[in-house]
Amino acid sequence: MNRPVAHLIAVLVGLNATAVVRIADARSPAAPAESTMSQAAPEHARLTAMCGTWDVEITFWFKPGGPGLATTGTSTIRPLFEGLFVEERIEGTLNGTPFTTLAWTGFNTASHQYEATRIASTNTIRIAETGGYDEKTRTFELKADYAMAGDTWHQRTVIQSTSADTMIATSYLSFGQVPEWKAVEMKYSRRK
């Protein structure tokens, strides 16, 4: 790559994305209206309503019918890119070992689906979930399939807002011939 091209790329990367779109629009008057930057849709407000710091009671069930293992943690949810996405960071301790999970969630206005990506300090798996929102029950339901331990695992996550300051997130798992079971339940209480 020659020096002028590298410099131009560096300048464009440094520019505000809105300015780049405006420059492109000015140079091509026939450009379609879709070339403008994405704006937060009403569906994004459901995500930003969850922003804040939460105390979380977490229960894990590591196998169907097995005993639950309870712990507590802290969830911090913050908006990204003017509310187009939210980032959640959960920190806690399980059996004396600290853990962290991170999730990024947004609403894709092209597919009309909520999309989430989750990672954790406890394993090497990235979970990519997609799903919708039920207005009547105020519930998100997201699903994912991923490879783990030589099998394809299926995850269904249900997040229900029970009030402005409380919500419950439940993840159900299944794999192979093992039927779906409740594997994780997180009860959130917003800190004042």
Domain-by-domain residue ranges, the chain? 3-35, 42-190
Is a pLDDT exceeding 50 seen at residue 12? no
Contact 183, 62 (CB under 8 A): yes
Angle at alpha carbon of residue 157, lines to 86 and 132, rounded to 5°: 65
pLDDT band at 37 (very low <50, low <70, confident <90, very high): low
Q: How far apart are CA 131 and CA 114, in angstroms?
A: 5
Contact 156, 172 (CB under 8 A): yes
Give per-residue pLDDT as tens, 94-113: 889 999 999 999 999 999 99
pLDDT band at 133 (very low <50, low <70, confident <90, very high): very high
Is a pLDDT exceeding 50 seen at residue 11? no
Q: Answer yes or no: CATH 3.30.56.10 is held by domain 42-190.
A: no
Is a pLDDT exceeding 90 seen at residue 40? no
Q: How far apart are CA 135 and CA 113, in angstroms?
A: 14
In this prediction the pTM is: 0.78
* Average pLDDT in the chain: 83
Contacting residues for 50 by C-beta, under 8 A, at least 6 apart: 77, 86, 88, 161, 167
Q: What is the phi/psi pair of residue 59, to 5°? A: -125, 130
Contact 60, 68 (CB under 8 A): yes
Q: Given this model, what pLDDT does residue 126 score?
A: 95
Q: How far apart are CA 44 and CA 82, in angstroms?
A: 10
Contact 71, 114 (CB under 8 A): no
Is a pLDDT exceeding 90 seen at residue 35? no
Q: Given this model, what pLDDT does residue 192 score?
A: 86
Is a pLDDT exceeding 60 seen at residue 2? no
Angle at alpha carbon of residue 84, lines to 121 and 30, rounded to 5°: 135
Contacting residues for 184 by C-beta, under 8 A, at least 6 apart: 58, 59, 60, 61, 169, 170, 171
Structure tokens at 40: 């937060």
Contacting residues for 138 by C-beta, under 8 A, at least 6 apart: 160, 161
CB atoms within 10 A of CB 189: 14
Which residue type is seen at 14?
G
Is a pLDDT exceeding 80 seen at residue 27? no
Q: Given this model, what pLDDT does residue 13 score?
A: 33
Q: Given this model, what pLDDT does residue 39 score?
A: 74
Q: Given this model, what pLDDT does residue 38 score?
A: 64
CA 136 distance to own-chain centroid = 22
Is a pLDDT exceeding 70 seen at residue 21? no
